[in-house]
Every structure is written in C-alpha cells, then in structure tokens.
C-alpha cells in the first residue's frame, strides 16, 4: 500500500442550500492493524470553517499544527477571524512550500461564506492544488467508493436535514467496502446559526 493509505481514512464534504456538511470515518490503523476506533480527523479552524484531513496521520498532525500557528498570528495581527477563501489560500501556500518533499496528507475544508451564507468546499491534493467545488468532494482510501455513491445520491439545494441523511449514507456505505476506513463516523452539519456534530454507529469491521 502507498504511504497515503498507511493509516486509512474516509472523508467527504457536501454542499446543500445555505449549509454544508463534513463527514469522516473514525478508524486509525497502522497498516492493517486497527489501533483506534474513535479517532478524530476534524479540526475547527473558524466559527464556520471545519477542516478534515485524510492521509498519513503524522502529517495530519503536523499540517494542522502549522496551519494553526499561521492562523493564530493572522487573527492576532488582523484582529478578526479569518475569511474562508483567505484560509484556503493559506493552506495552498503551506502545502506548496513542500512541493518537492510533500506532506502525505491533504485537507478537505467545509465552510460557510460569512457574507452571503453560501457553502464553500475546498479540495486539495497533497501539494496544495486548490479547487473550490460547489457539490461534493471526497478523499482518503475510500475515494472511489465515495465518489460513486455521492454522484448518485447528491442533488443541489438540499436542506440541512436531507443533507445530513445523504452524507451519512454516502460515507457509511462507502467505508464498508474499504478495509482501511470505517469503525464509525462523525458528521458535522454547518449552518448559518449553528453547527451540529453527530456520531454514527457503523459496521465494526
């Protein structure tokens, strides 16, 4: 298996109508050995900015800590929370600095634009190629399974209830076909006035 499949992960972000959802699995493994079944992959980087990280876990820790460093200094200097698009650029910059010796972890960011409340999903590769998508994005070891089921189930302008159902079904069913991801799921539904976190029970194998 390649280095970015070493720990296993499944992450999906989906946009709805004025809401966005981010779902991740909760398995942490060392190759085929499962070490933790309640592993947290999501980082809150702003009041409506949530970042999930796929790939090698040690790089996930390092990238998120380095990002936190830059983000804290930004917010101290500018005296305001960071805007989503600026944060997206910050990630690109950090990852591209390691263009020829990259981190083996890539983020998936789900955010709500503070000005117009529209959903924003930022998709990256491990060297910082940023694409802002307006439907869904998946990363990790279950990418193929996730993309297949998302294409089928996703439709535009879903409200938060339906979005939650759709993203949960996509993740749970996709990770069942993946040996390296699963053992539970965490779903964050981000809306203008609140953020809800739900923990789902999945197949424990």
Q: Mark 63-82 with x for binding to other proteins (rule: CB under 8 A) and - for no binding.
A: --xx-xx--xx--xx-x---
Closer Cβ to other proteins, 67 or 110, answer by number: 67
Please, which residues bridge with residue 42 across strands?
52
Closer Cβ to other proteins, 72 or 196, answer by number: 72
Closer Cβ to other proteins, 68 or 155, answer by number: 68
40 binds other proteins (CB under 8 A): no
CB neighbour class for 157 (10 Å; exposed up to 12, middle 13-18, buried from 19): exposed
C-alpha atoms less than 13 angstroms from C-alpha of 78 in its C-beta half-sphere: 11
Closer Cβ to other proteins, 33 or 77, answer by number: 77
93 binds other proteins (CB under 8 A): no
The site for other proteins, by CB under 8 A, has a size of 9
Q: Strands (DSSP E) along the chain, which ranges? A: 10-15, 19-25, 28-30, 33-36, 42-46, 49-55, 105-112, 119-123, 131-133, 136-140, 185-191, 195-200
72: how many CB neighbours lie within 10 A of its CB?
11
Angle between helices 160-176 and 143-153 (to 10 degrees): 140
180: how many CB neighbours lie within 10 A of its CB?
21
CB of 78 to other proteins, least distance (A): 11
Where does this chain touch other proteins (CB under 8 A) — which range of 25-33, 47-55, 61-69, 143-151? 61-69
116 binds other proteins (CB under 8 A): no
Binding footprint of other proteins on the chain (CB under 8 A)? 65-66, 68-69, 72-73, 76-77, 79
């Amino acid at each position: 298996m390649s280095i970015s499949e070493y720990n296993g992960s499944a992450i999906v972000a989906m946009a709805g109508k004025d809401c966005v959802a981010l779902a991740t699995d909760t398995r942490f493994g060392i190759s085929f050995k499962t070490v933790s079944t309640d592993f947290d992959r999501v980082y809150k980087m702003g009041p409506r900015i949530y970042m999930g990280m796929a790939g090698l876990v040690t790089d996930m820790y390092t990238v998120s800590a380095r990002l936190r460093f830059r983000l804290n200094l930004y917010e101290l200097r500018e005296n305001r929370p960071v805007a989503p698009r600026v944060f997206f650029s910050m990630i690109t910059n950090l990852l591209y600095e390691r263009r020829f010796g990259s981190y083996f972890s890539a983020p998936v960011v789900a955010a709500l634009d503070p000005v117009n409340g529209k959903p924003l999903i930022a998709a990256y590769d491990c060297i910082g190629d940023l694409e802002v998508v307006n439907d869904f994005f998946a990363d990790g070891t279950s990418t193929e399974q996730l993309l297949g089921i998302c294409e089928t189930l996703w439709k535009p302008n879903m409200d938060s209830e339906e979005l939650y159902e759709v993203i949960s079904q996509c993740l749970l069913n996709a990770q069942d076909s993946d040996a390296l991801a699963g053992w539970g799921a965490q779903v964050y539904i981000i809306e203008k006035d609140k953020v809800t976190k739900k923990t789902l029970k999945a197949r424990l194998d």
